Amino acid sequence: MSESPIQTANIGSSDEQQSENDMWKLASEKARRIVETGETFDYIFNVWQRQHHGDTAIGKILILSICNGSMSNSKGYHVQVNGAGGGGKSDAAHQVAILTDPLYILDSALTPQVLYYPTEGFIDGSIVLVDDIVWNSELGVSIKRITSKFQDGGERTVTTDGAGIKQKSNKRLTFWVTCVDNQCDEQLRDRFAASDIDESSAHVEDVLETLKEQDAGMTTNPEDTILTTKVCQALIRDLRTHLIDVIIPFAKRIEFKGDIRAYRMFSDMIRCFAVYAYAKRERDAYGRLIATKDDFWKAKELYEELGGHNRDKYSKAETDVLNAILACGNHTATKADLQEKTALSSGRLGDILNGRGKGDQQKHGLLYKCSALTVDYSKKPFTFKLPADFSPNRSCQVSLKDEVRTDT
């Protein structure tokens, strides 16, 4: 691994504090040993978990998605973290971003067009972090086009001084976005692994205690935090020195319930786990990395922890509203019924049902997203209705034919 002058914060004076250059050399050597043991993923996840309490599935899928930029045959999947403001969704993503080499992160406000223009420090294989996104049609079109051409970069043609000019985005861009609700359109939902932040009262109490411990200086040694952060950055920089073709030799034995895009996302998850352990994986005669059954079991565990994937995947808030309708007599509910059963405000409920924003921006709410949900405006107050056999829950059955996991 090559050396890199990573900038770090001033942690104060200490007789034992090493120079920046010495710290990086120490981190690089530790990273080399971790790569050799095939434990890169586990190391980064454990460091992240020290900085963000709980939400393990979100941390894992964010960290795992980094490897999409190091594969030549990945279709690319992206991550959306849902949750109310202040619930920790931004912190979950930003803490992973801190552990990623800054060379590969674009974390700033952006316009849909900027993704197609050369930007200093914005290179192939980067991660684009968009915080608190409100999906609108222009940004959605840009991201849709780019994600559909993951390996090559998306193109668009613009007119400048009377001439058509083709512009192209960087290759293998991975998008991490945070959002109150999963209100992107169907094609975008198809390409994003979405998960909700834990907003339970028990989790909130645990987070508060953790924050108090951090404020009291009880949880981490500042110098150790800097070193472990540098180790993670070195590990990810090492991954980016490779562009790997990964095969799954037992793929024909995978029994998968879901649509084609869901399978592609799952198979990319297997590949990602293999890339994280590339030093411990064999290559075939063509130089392709060979995924193992261990990579499959890890991907299966995470896929099921996320609740599977499909293009109609509902956020927790949306699922609560749909279940509230199903719980009412004849599966029919007024807005007042929904407020009573979900304890949501009228405005929040309106955002979930209609979508946030104005005009076209609203066309990603539950009324547009769930084709089974109908509204009877002939009644006063009007009512929402679902079929008796409707279920918002997703199936995520994955197995390996004639085999069960024996190492747990």
pLDDT at 120: 83
Give the N- to C-terminal CA distance of the chain in Å, as an integer: 34
Return the higher-pLDDT residue of 285 and 108.
285
**Spatial contact of 388 and 372, defined as CB atoms under 8 Å apart:** no
Lowest mean pLDDT, pick from 5-19, 126-140, 160-174:
5-19
Q: Where are the domains of the chain?
A: 20-239, 316-385
**pLDDT of amino acid 358:** 59
CATH of 20-239, one of 3.40.1080.10, 1.10.10.60, 3.40.50.300, 3.20.20.70: 3.40.50.300
Report the mean per-residue pLDDT for the chain.
85
* Structure tokens given for 179: 């959002």
Answer yes or no: is pLDDT of 248 > 80.
Answer: yes
Pairwise pLDDT comparison (190 vs 327), residue with the higher score? 327
Q: Which two tokens stand for residue 240?
A: 């980016």
| CA dist., res. 146 & res. 106, Å (int) | 15
Mean predicted confidence (pLDDT) in 213-231: 80
| DSSP codes of every residue in 1-28 | --------------TTPPPHHHHHHHHH
E-strand ranges in 336-392 read: 374-376, 383-385
CA-closest candidate to residue 258, choices 274, 246, 244, 269: 269
Distance, CA of 36 to CA of 278 (rounded, Å): 9
**CA-to-CA dists, residue 56 to 52, 62, 197, angstroms:** 9, 10, 10
* 23, HSE (Cβ side, Cα atoms, 13 Å): 22
DSSP strand pairing (163-168 vs 192-196): unpaired
pLDDT band at 363 (very low <50, low <70, confident <90, very high): low
Token pair for 55:
């939400």
pLDDT of 273 above 60: yes
Q: CA–CA separation, 26 vs 20, rounded Å?
A: 10
